[in-house]
Each structure stands twice: as C-alpha cells, then as structure tokens.
Amino acid sequence: MKLDVLYFAWLRERIGCARETVETEATTVSGLVEELRAREERYTLAFSDLASLRVAIDQELRDFDAPLDGAREIAFFPPMTGG
C-alpha cells in the first residue's frame, strides 16, 4: 500500500523532509512507525517517544493503534500549539 506521509514542526526538521510517499505493509499506525524506525537513525530518533507525538489519518486526529485500511495521508506532529 502506498501512503503520503507528512511531518510537521520539529519532527519535520529532525527527519529532514515535510512529505514523502511510503510503500508499507503495515496495518496500523504503530506498524507504520515501526517500519519507519527501522529505516534510518533519523527516524529512530524522531519517533523515539510516541507520547510526545500525535497522528492524523486523512486529516483526522487518531490514536497510534488506529488501522490504516483505506488511508491515503498520514501526518505525524508534536502536540499542537494554536491560539
């Protein structure tokens, strides 16, 4: 399955890109995170503490154990600071 994966704020800076297409076998967000962590050290470091990260599937906030079925766009980012 092909997914657009987006990164924001310090996560974007640590990984060094804002958006990439990822070919994945994962069925959940956590599975996708495991695959990304295994890629390169910058991903391992960026995803070292999931409690400090949030995830959105197709622009809706979800949990890390959410399924990926039918998803097109996954975004990872730190807790939001609007207002």
Partner 1 sequence: MFDIRVQGAPFDYGHECARFAGGRSDTGAIVTFCGIVRGDGALETMEIEHYPGMTERALRQIAKEAARRWALGGIMIIHRFGQLVPGEQIMMVATASAHRADAFAAADFLMDYLKSRAPFWKKEMRKDGTSWVAAKASDEDALMRW
Among 61, 63, 67, 72, binds partner 1 (CB under 8 A): 61
Residues 6+ apart with CB under 8 A from 39: none
Contact 1, 23 (CB under 8 A): yes
| Residues paired with residue 61 on neighbouring β-strands, in sequence order | 56
Among 3, 6, 53, 68, binds partner 1 (CB under 8 A): 6
- Contact pattern from residue 7 through residue 26 relative to partner 1, giving x for each residue in contact according to CB under 8 A and a dash for the rest: -xxx----------------
**H/E segment holding residue 4:** strand 2-7
Among 1, 28, 62, 77, binds partner 1 (CB under 8 A): 77
Q: Where does this chain bind partner 1 (CB under 8 A)?
A: 6, 8-10, 56, 59-61, 75, 77-83
